Structure formats: structure tokens, C-alpha cells
Amino acid sequence: MVRLSDKAISVISDLEFKNKYYFKKKDIEQHFDNKKQLYDFIYNQRKNNRIIKLNKDKYFLVPIKARHRAWTDHPLIIAHEIMDGKDYYVGGWYAAHYWGLTEQVPMQVDIYSPNKYGKARILNKRFVFHRIRREALKKRTKIKISGKEIFIIKKIVAEKWISKK
């Protein structure tokens, strides 16, 4: 078991006190004297599975209460945080499952965005990014999960999509 340093305890407890499990570098930089200390802290905490990188500047803090440094969150909230809450929607089988069009829980979350493409495995869930045209963002609608506004494909579009499958 890896012991947390006093600095790590200070930063992690500050984030947990604020209920800020998704954070950016600027949210913790006041705890450090310079950028090197900040980057070293993030490197070490990622190596110890205490912090998980979501995108270029955003991270997920695994709470101290996680017994084996394993934690998960709702996949739609993770998708929202990866995309910084803009220019995306969740589609495919995960959207069909959300709208009740299929019983089976999908193995991956399909995220459609004009900015990003590729695949990632974050918090034990597979995320597949699909590039779309900006006009295709009109197919989305907002839903609320845990106080966050998540973008997901409209139900009628998901019904058309699933009927083709």
C-alpha cells in the first residue's frame, strides 16, 4: 500500500471537501510553489491510481473512501466531463439503452463530436469517439443526471437508428 504524502493529503482533502472529483490543473495549482511540483504531483498520483486523466487538462480524483483505488461514475457524466460539457452528444447503443429501446447494458459509450475521434478506456468503461459535422449536433437533447446537463441523441432519432440495426 502506498502512503500519501502530506501534500497529497492536503490537495485530495481540499478537492473532496469541495466535492470536486472532476478537476483541472488550475483548481489545485494554489497548493504548489511552481509548475514542476504540480506536474510531479499529478504524475505520482496517476502512477498510484489516485488520479485518472480524462482529457488534456481534466482529471478525475478517486476518492479516499475507495478501498482498492477503484471507483466508477455514471458513464454519461464521464462523457460530459471528457468533452467539457460542449459540442458532443451520446448516441449509439448507450443512447438506445437510456431511452429504453433495448434491455441490454452496452459495453461502450459512443460519443459524437466535431472535435474528437478515437477510443479510450476510462474508469473501466470503453468510450468510442466519432467525428461528425457541426450541423449534426442538432440531433441532440439535454437530460439531467446528478445535476449535470448531459447531451444525448433525441429519442426519435435513436428509434430510427435502432430500426435500421
Domain locations in the chain? 6-61, 75-164
Mean pLDDT of the chain: 90
pLDDT band at residue 111 under the 50/70/90 scheme:
very high
Task: Check residue 164 and give its pLDDT.
Answer: 85
Residue 123 grid cell: 474508469
Task: Check residue 64 and give its pLDDT.
Answer: 74
Does residue 32 surpass a pLDDT of 70?
A: yes
Q: Say which residue, 139 or 7, is predicted with more confidence.
A: 139
Task: Check residue 2 and give its pLDDT.
Answer: 64
**Mean pLDDT over residues 101-119, rounded?**
91
| Residues 90 and 154: beta-carbon distance below 8 Å | no
How big is the CA angle at 75 (ends 74 and 81), to the nearest 5 degrees?
A: 95
DSSP H helical ranges for 18-101: 25-28, 35-47, 75-82, 92-98
